[in-house]
Amino acid sequence: MSTSGEHFSNRFSVVAALAGSAIGLGNIWRFPYMIGEYGGALFVLFYLLCSVFIALPIFFSESIIGRRGGSGVQASFQAINPKGKWSVIGLLCLLTPTLVMSYYSIVGGWSLDYLIKSFEGYFMKVQPAEATKYFSRFTSNPWAPLLMHTAFLGITALIVSKGVEKGIGRINKRVIPVLFVLIVLILVYSLSLPGSKAGVDYLVKVDFKNAGVGVVAAAMGQSFFSLSLGMGTILVYSSYIKKNENIPVSGLLTVLFDTAFAILAAFAIMPAVFSGGIEPSAGPSLVFETLPYIFSSMRGLSPALSYCVPVVFFLAILLAAVTSEMSLLEVGTNYLIESKHMSRKKASWIVFLVGLLLGAPCSLSFGPLRDITLFKKNVFEIFDFSASNVLMFAGALVFTLFVGWRMKKSDVYDELSNGGSLKGIKKLFNPLYFWIKYVIPVVVVLLFVLNLAMS
């Protein structure tokens, strides 16, 4: 149990929280596009293999450190290995969630604005071209996105300030089932649109054209990002997992829910995009330009649906973003509570302030600060690049090296098998330990290099 005494009440709470962190914008705006680009069903297969054989062992490593140390990124290293210098490295691991929290919140703010606009019926009132242009008009304005950023971050900080089970656990347990319902509703609508079959074909075709190292690297990178690895969020959430809870099963269920949601999202989005006769894209433009175009162009079909579909869609995006953002805020909040002995309320609002300030230049980089660039990347892109192309891998490396080379093997076994009581782990343990110690670190380094070479 965590040193602060807080914990998730049961398995549902644990898995909902981990899935809440994992299911996010990556599932909605990146995965559907990658399936199509990297050979359809083949990519999904690679993705599943990478998730189980590469991402899951890293997930276990983070979980093992968190539950064993019973604390956050720095204090857990300290607790397990008091004399080592690892706690300094642990402190560096705070940087990644702080960066991600700041720019993720900008996108969260956009979703909030789009949800409000959908409630006003905006996307059914305007012409498709106008609906697309709304994005650049909105993001280039300095104030409105900043206001939304503040509101989004404020909502998240409020939830986090309520506590691990009372805030984070309770909200995730409610939101995750709702998210699945919403995405299925959109899927049914999307498949009913004329011309949607082309989108289904795009997703299910098996295409060997791109098969090769590139696909494997893309699948691995996506599975890391989607499962929120290497950023300390899994570590911190795991410190709230009770000793009798099952780490391997929680990890497997998280992969299962995350992947299921990503596939549902692909079939909810791509058929609609194709039915509008548009080339699919990835990233912000898919969600904030292409889909509004589709929503607006479908308005002739049924006014009631044209009103409801954008509301449901942007609500899903907003909820997915809030549950991921909560896990990011929790890393810093946990640090201030456990290492600086602050109250949870104070800690979460300090983290809110940090996110507010660091996020501001990211938000303005679409407007007044758009000319400030480094290697052709604006501030937002620099944050994203350094976190998801550099620091994420560094974090994953640190966690697996620590488990493989610093922790006692018997302690690792103890955590994975709950003191030997989970009998199923016995046979799997030795190969898994070998895998974490020798294979995963090499794979992570290779992937990091490949990823840099391709970007």
**By the rule CB under 6 A, 327 interacts with ligand TRP:** yes
- Helices 73-80 + 56-69 axis angle, to 10: 70
Identity of the residue, 15 or 100, whose beta carbon is nearer to ligand TRP in the bound complex: 100
Question: How many CB atoms neighbour CB 421 within 10 A?
Answer: 9
Q: How many residues bind ligand TRP (CB under 6 A)?
A: 15
| Smallest separation, CB 260 to ligand TRP (Å) | 13
Question: How many CB atoms neighbour CB 374 within 10 A?
Answer: 10
Identity of the residue, 196 or 388, whose beta carbon is nearer to ligand TRP in the bound complex: 388
218-253 CB burial, b ≥16 within 10 A, e <16:
bbbbbbbbbbbbbbbbbbbbbbbbeeebbbbebbbb
**By the rule CB under 6 A, 339 interacts with ligand TRP:** no
Calculate Rg over the CA atoms of the chain.
21
Identity of the residue, 233 or 378, whose beta carbon is nearer to ligand TRP in the bound complex: 233
Identity of the residue, 99 or 337, whose beta carbon is nearer to ligand TRP in the bound complex: 99
Identity of the residue, 225 or 257, whose beta carbon is nearer to ligand TRP in the bound complex: 225
**By the rule CB under 6 A, 189 interacts with ligand TRP:** no
Residue type, 253: L
- As a whole number of angstroms, the distance between CA 277 and CA 196 comes to 9
Stretch binding ligand TRP (CB under 6 A), from 35-43, 117-125, 153-161, 220-228: 220-228
Separation of CA 92 from chain center = 20
Stretch binding ligand TRP (CB under 6 A), from 221-229, 242-250, 266-274, 356-364: 221-229
Identity of the residue, 263 or 412, whose beta carbon is nearer to ligand TRP in the bound complex: 263
Nearest CA to 66 out of 160, 19, 1, 15 is that of 1
| Smallest separation, CB 418 to ligand TRP (Å) | 26
**By the rule CB under 6 A, 25 interacts with ligand TRP:** yes
Both tokens of residue 90? 């642990």
CB 433 within 8 A of CB 57: no
**By the rule CB under 6 A, 225 interacts with ligand TRP:** yes
Identity of the residue, 21 or 275, whose beta carbon is nearer to ligand TRP in the bound complex: 21
- As a whole number of angstroms, the distance between CA 152 and CA 322 comes to 8
Select the residue interacting with ligand TRP from 15, 16, 17, 26 (CB under 6 A): 26
Binding mask 90-109 for ligand TRP (x = CB under 6 A): ----------x---------
Both tokens of residue 209? 């054209």
| Smallest separation, CB 423 to ligand TRP (Å) | 32
Stretch binding ligand TRP (CB under 6 A), from 22-30, 146-154, 209-217, 420-428: 22-30
Stretch binding ligand TRP (CB under 6 A), from 2-10, 225-233, 243-251, 284-292: 225-233
CB 401 within 8 A of CB 441: yes
Direct distance between the N- and C-terminal alpha carbons of the chain, in angstroms, rounded to an integer: 41
| Smallest separation, CB 324 to ligand TRP (Å) | 4
- As a whole number of angstroms, the distance between CA 292 and CA 295 comes to 5
User: For residue 374, what is the DSSP state?
Assistant: B
- As a whole number of angstroms, the distance between CA 351 and CA 102 comes to 10
Interacting residues with ligand TRP between 226 and 265 (CB under 6 A):
226, 228, 231, 233
- As a whole number of angstroms, the distance between CA 438 and CA 22 comes to 26
Identity of the residue, 21 or 250, whose beta carbon is nearer to ligand TRP in the bound complex: 21
Interface residues toward ligand TRP, by CB under 6 A: 21-22, 24-27, 100, 225-226, 228, 231, 233, 324, 327-328
